[in-house]
Amino acid sequence: MHSFRVFVSIAVVWLAQGWVAAQTPLPSWNEGAAKQAILDFVAKVTKEGSPDFVPSDDRIAAFDNDGTLWTEQPMYFQAFFVLDRVKALAPEHPEWKDHEPFASLLKGEMNAALAGGERTLAEIVMATHAGMTTEEFDKIVSDWIATARHPKTGKLYTEMVYQPMLELLTHLRNNGFKTFIVSGGGIEFMRPWAQQVYSIPPEQIIGSSIKTKYEHRNGRPVIVRLPELNFIDDKSGKPVGIQQHIGRRPIAAFGNSDGDFEMLEWTTSGNGPRFGLIVHHTDAVREWAYDRQSSVGRLDKGLDEAKSHGWTLVDMKRDWKLIYRSE
Amino acid sequence: MHSFRVFVSIAVVWLAQGWVAAQTPLPSWNEGAAKQAILDFVAKVTKEGSPDFVPSDDRIAAFDNDGTLWTEQPMYFQAFFVLDRVKALAPEHPEWKDHEPFASLLKGEMNAALAGGERTLAEIVMATHAGMTTEEFDKIVSDWIATARHPKTGKLYTEMVYQPMLELLTHLRNNGFKTFIVSGGGIEFMRPWAQQVYSIPPEQIIGSSIKTKYEHRNGRPVIVRLPELNFIDDKSGKPVGIQQHIGRRPIAAFGNSDGDFEMLEWTTSGNGPRFGLIVHHTDAVREWAYDRQSSVGRLDKGLDEAKSHGWTLVDMKRDWKLIYRSE
């Protein structure tokens, strides 16, 4: 009786697995060159005995986040987080009313606030991201992401992830890939929600960071976030971040802007089968349309060189049946 | 017929899994408090419905390497690597004969070479670990680890890993744990061989590092190792490295020296069930016996405070049936 039940359980698991595998992958992708390129690549690297076979251990895929997995317009979502933090902290900082960049931020004028360049940006980051423990920051981000809404769509930010890219992540993982995020955004800004939204655990998130320090507060050990930049995971920093955290070259990389150029170049210049993909924002109706002239997510060099590098260009308007799951 | 064969395959897999699970875990551990503490901890965090149950995603275990997973006497194995590199590079550096610390290193006098303190150590690391690409360094380490032998035992260094600790890694992974190395040693010194020796992939290795830079050499993108320290993953650096790479607190940590104190403290001061373990080197016949007075792997504060923190002390002489697999 016991064995029979075990076999029934196994059969149920097996049937469920078969059912999942039988679902056509990438249902939100229109038929076309981009979808076919993805399916062909996954098929060839998973076919044992083929010259393009890649063992499961080496199936590493790296994804940019802003503009690749979720929307980045009219500005990076982490910038909205900064604005909300400045407003929340303003009562403790009456001097901010007359002190830039905070005076502009409190009026919601991000461009004016950033006019001071890198030093201003650093000042903003430090005021909103440093001084607390890692656990306190985790809670601040978790509370914000659960409630804050995008000013144009009224959606939760986590509702503005791209359904076709979620399906791509799933298709890769179903085929033995380990999926990583490699973003210019803050590493600890993404970790609190990426597991739930992307099914990517904290240890597979790479991003920009500030320095931290281990110390004791009230007799308890804590890790405190310091007002000092540690690492910028953007442009040529992305291959460096990949090497530091993953320790080997991905075989597939996915981005949308020139900030992802070096990650795509590093990934696709390795030996054996390689895959690079750029999401081109072409849909002004369902999302945003921007490339060479955009201050956020500029895509210029990548558009010029995608073809010569063999990278797949996704035309969001043409290739995606829907943008967000809620459509 | 097809279904029948599938069921037979599944039954075989199931029987094989049952057989593996039925093997008594930790066969190289003598019965006693240390072995029992490990078994009890794993049993309680994996028992669904129990108040101590920990979901598989949160079963993170962190292991020191030198002195915890392999021997560290009479000096860290990476120091032997340095000596061998200095000898190999000496023909290109005739000036080293008369220039410290290299003159001492060429005579095999590590202590004299290190008399200059941290600056000297940095000079040695830079001369032997920097200037090449990450791929070149990977090959240098791989070639060395495959052939170099320990001066006292004559074994390959990878034959000097502790069999009881390999069994512990396996037991944890068989129970849904994700195992990480968190070592003061060089991150890129461990990655080339850790997968094969410990079944731990590169992305689960955390260690000390130098800075790197993405650039083009001969038209090919490369990551170059720079003569500049990036991060020291020791003492209070270990919780910082854990947070940077893993992004959450382990529930179990394993070390052997005061360099692991903060990692153990950070791990075991979290909420819920926690486990800390210190390997105490007590076996002068089969390995080395050292603790409070040792210049390598000093264990002093950890011995004093293990009990009050609830950490398990392993007495190598008493608790381990064998040290190395080859015994």
pLDDT tens digits for range A80-123: 999 999 999 999 999 999 999 999 999 988 888 888 777 888 88
> Is pLDDT at B14 greater than 80 in this prediction?
no
pLDDT of A4 reads: 55
> What percent of chain A shows pLDDT beyond 70?
93
H helix or E strand, kind and range, residue B42: helix B33-45
Which of A6, A134, A243 is closest, CB to CB, to B134?
Answer: A243
Binned at pLDDT 50, 70 and 90, residue B263 comes out as very high
**pLDDT mean over B15-41:** 84
How far away is chain A from the Cα of B196, in angstroms, using its nearest Cα?
A: 12
Residues of A in contact with B201 (CB under 8 A): 57, 247
ipTM, interface predicted TM-score of the complex = 0.92
Using CB atoms, which residue from B10, B195, B214 is nearest to A10?
A: B10
Query: Of A283-287, B120-124, B264-268, which range is least confident?
Result: B120-124
- E strand or H helix that includes residue A226: strand A220-231
Please report which confidence band the pLDDT of residue A3 belongs to, taking 50, 70 and 90 as the band edges: low
pLDDT at B1: 41
Restricting to A residues 133-172, those with a Cβ less than 8 Å away from any Cβ of B are 134
Give the mean model confidence (pLDDT) for residues B58-77.
Answer: 97
- Kindly state the average pLDDT of the residues A290-318: 97
Give the pLDDT score at B153.
Answer: 97
Q: A109, A75 in Cβ contact below 8 A?
A: no
Beta bridge partners of B205: B181
**Confidence (pTM):** 0.92
- Burial class from Cβ neighbours inside 10 Å (0-12, 13-18, 19+) for residue A238 reads buried
A residues 109-128 closer than 8 Å to B (CB): none
| Ramachandran area for residue B259 (φ above 0: left; ψ -120 to 50: alpha; else beta) | alpha
The answer to whether residue B269 neighbours chain A at the CB level (below 8 Å) is yes
Q: What is the pLDDT of residues B146-197, one digit of tens each?
A: 999 999 999 999 999 999 999 999 999 999 999 999 999 999 999 999 999 9
For the record, the structure tokens of A301 come out as: 């060099």
